[in-house]
């Protein structure tokens, strides 16, 4: 067993144009003041991070880490959620996702996809330069519009989508291997990798690639009515990251999992700040500790009700209270009789 690291904070939801959220030095100091020991960094946000420099200069990376260290923080991981999304986009979402890309490739799906692959590869190189071990991303999606089997899906449609998804990701995963970095896909609705079975379908097609791993976020499982504790039992050897995000699912006679096209506030399933929802974090921290997860517990604040700064401060204390410092001895050692082989054989009636 190992002790989970934390608390850490994903900065994507906090970066902004006003202080203290508009520069690396000020946002790290703010996060430290909230009680965090680490931060997960959105690689696309130029206010906080320069991906091009990070991918080409270890000196720049050392200086970047040094600023965080001055605030008492570690850089836990980089994220390419937005760029990873663009590795595979169904045409139905071209317009919706175009804003994630650089202006020079918008409106050109082929150029946008090539740009996205290059971005993820650069982030993996940057992760190596930063001395990290894992990287957070999305898989993107080609089959998502066909999630519900009506109209009836043509034979081979989903299989071809996953074959193509694997073809697009395999060169990235091989680059991750060269860099010594695990790719942690956030298993997330809207991605083709949205539950355990879909992850397995992808893993089969990349031939069990050792770098194709998971980011575990229970909020996305509770909204699917998926057993998020058993999920750890099944996939613990592939879980490389952990987002501490809460959620609640309160179905009624009028709506359930699909939410009736309602806003987040009015959906039966909605995200909440840690401790305000229905996720059994005591069970999660226990299972992850049992299986030796020694990564970071990273708060990802997404709540339709609570102010983000309140959620951030409360989240740090919430994680700190849930981290289990593993024991170095058995609780019943006090009753150890100090027996030996001969004594054991006598107790079994063998002598």
pLDDT single digits (tens) 10-23: 999 999 999 999 99
How many residues are listed for the chain in this entry? 351
* Class level of CATH domain 5-347: alpha beta
Using alpha carbons only, what angle is made at residue 29 by residues 23 and 31, rounded to the nearest 5 degrees? 100
> How many whole angstroms separate alpha carbon 13 and alpha carbon 302?
8
The answer to whether residues 26 and 19 touch, using CB atoms and an 8 Å cutoff, is: yes
**Region of 303 on the Ramachandran plot (φ > 0 left; ψ -120 to 50 alpha; else beta):** beta
Confidence of residue 268 (pLDDT cuts 50, 70, 90): very high
Q: What is the biggest distance separating any 2 CA atoms in the chain, rounded to whole angstroms?
A: 83
208 burial (CB, 10 Å; 0-12 / 13-18 / 19+) is exposed
User: What is the percentage of the chain residues whose pLDDT exceeds 90?
Assistant: 93
Mean pLDDT (the chain) is: 96
pLDDT in tens, 21-70: 999 999 999 999 999 999 999 999 999 999 999 999 999 999 999 999 99
Res 263 pLDDT > 60:
yes
Q: Which one is predicted more confidently, 20 or 332?
A: 20
> How many whole angstroms separate alpha carbon 330 and alpha carbon 31?
36
> How many whole angstroms separate alpha carbon 25 and alpha carbon 72?
11
Distance of CA 229 to the CA centre of its chain: 16
Res 121 pLDDT > 60:
yes
Res 243 pLDDT > 80:
yes
The answer to whether residues 191 and 136 touch, using CB atoms and an 8 Å cutoff, is: no
Domain spans of the chain, in order of start: 5-347
> How many whole angstroms separate alpha carbon 327 and alpha carbon 329?
6
Distance of CA 152 to the CA centre of its chain: 32
**Can you name the residues that pair with 134 across neighbouring β-strands?**
182
H helix count then E strand count, the chain: 13, 10
pLDDT in tens, 62-92: 999 999 999 999 999 999 999 999 999 999 9
Kind plus residue range of the DSSP H or E element containing 235: helix 228-235
The answer to whether residues 88 and 143 touch, using CB atoms and an 8 Å cutoff, is: no
The pTM of the full predicted model, rounded to 2 decimals, is 0.94
Name the residue with tokens 């898989």. 139
Task: Report residue 286 as tokens.
Answer: 């226990």
């Amino acid at each position: 067993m190992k002790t989970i690291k934390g608390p850490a904070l994903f900065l994507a939801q906090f970066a902004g144009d006003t202080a203290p959220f508009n520069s690396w030095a000020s946002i790290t100091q703010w996060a430290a003041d909230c009680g965090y020991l680490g931060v997960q960094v959105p690689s696309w946000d130029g206010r906080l991070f320069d991906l091009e420099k990070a991918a080409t200069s270890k000196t720049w990376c050392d200086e970047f880490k040094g600023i965080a260290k001055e605030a008492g923080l570690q850089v836990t991981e980089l994220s390419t959620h937005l760029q990873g999304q663009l590795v595979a986009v169904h045409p139905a979402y071209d317009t919706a996702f175009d804003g994630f890309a650089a202006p020079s490739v918008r409106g050109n799906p082929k150029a946008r996809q090539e740009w996205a692959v290059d971005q993820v590869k650069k982030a993996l190189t940057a992760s190596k330069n930063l001395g990290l071990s894992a990287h957070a991303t999305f898989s993107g999606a080609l089959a998502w519009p066909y999630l519900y089997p009506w109209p009836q899906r043509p034979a081979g449609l989903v299989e071809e989508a996953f074959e193509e998804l694997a073809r697009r990701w395999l060169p990235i995963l091989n680059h991750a291997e060269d860099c010594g970095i695990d790719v942690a896909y956030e298993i997330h609705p809207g991605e083709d990798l949205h539950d355990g079975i879909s992850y397995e379908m992808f893993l089969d097609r990349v031939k069990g690639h050792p770098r194709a791993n998971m980011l575990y976020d229970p909020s996305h499982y509770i909204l699917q009515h998926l057993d998020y504790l058993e999920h750890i039992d099944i996939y613990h050897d592939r879980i490389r990251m952990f987002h501490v995000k809460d959620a609640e699912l309160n179905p009624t006679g009028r709506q359930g999992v699909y939410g009736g096209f309602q806003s987040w506030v009015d959906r039966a399933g909605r995200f909440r700040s840690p401790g305000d929802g229905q996720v059994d974090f005591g069970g999660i921290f226990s299972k992850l500790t049992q299986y030796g997860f020694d990564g970071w517990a990273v708060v990802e604040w997404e709540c339709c009700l609570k102010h983000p700064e309140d959620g951030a401060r409360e989240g740090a204390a919430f994680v700190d209270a849930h981290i289990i410092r593993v024991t170095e001895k058995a609780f019943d050692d006090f009753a150890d009789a100090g027996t030996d082989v001969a004594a054991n054989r006598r107790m079994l009636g063998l002598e």
